[in-house]
């Protein structure tokens, strides 16, 4: 995933923002993975073990169409956790 948005933040915050982004993405991908059938889980594991960003992007577009909404949900969850 492209993290060019990090350039929008001061250098001293970029590492923290990047780590937070990684946590959000990991949570969203985990949820999306859990919703896949066993065949798609195996295919995802195979594709993500390769060094082929295009194949990963194609898989995400075809099988994880709700990933953007999951990312938003996980972001909201983290914001609520932080507020507590």
Does 4 map to a domain?
no
Assess contact for 67 and 25: CB atoms under 8 A: no
Quote the domain boundaries for residue 54. Answer: 22-83
Longest CA pairwise span in the chain (Å): 43
Does 66 map to a domain?
yes
Q: What is the pLDDT of residue 2?
A: 55
Q: What is the pLDDT of residue 84?
A: 85
Does 15 map to a domain?
no
Does 73 map to a domain?
yes
Does 29 map to a domain?
yes
Does 8 map to a domain?
no
Q: What is the pLDDT of residue 1?
A: 47
Assess contact for 36 and 63: CB atoms under 8 A: yes
Assess contact for 52 and 29: CB atoms under 8 A: no
Q: What is the pLDDT of residues 45-67, one digit of tens each?
A: 999 999 999 999 999 999 999 99
Does 3 map to a domain?
no
Report how many domains make up the chain.
1
Rg of the chain taking only CA atoms, in angstroms: 14
Residues of the chain with pLDDT under 70: 1-3
Does 60 map to a domain?
yes
């Amino acid at each position: 995933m492209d993290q060019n948005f990090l350039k929008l933040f001061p250098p001293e915050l970029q590492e923290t923002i990047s780590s937070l982004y990684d946590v959000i993405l990991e949570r969203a991908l985990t949820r999306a993975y859990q919703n896949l059938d066993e065949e798609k889980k195996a295919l995802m594991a195979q594709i993500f073990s390769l060094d082929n960003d295009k194949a990963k992007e194609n898989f995400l577009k075809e099988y994880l169409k709700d990933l953007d909404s999951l990312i938003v949900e996980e972001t909201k969850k983290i914001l609520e956790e932080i507020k507590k």
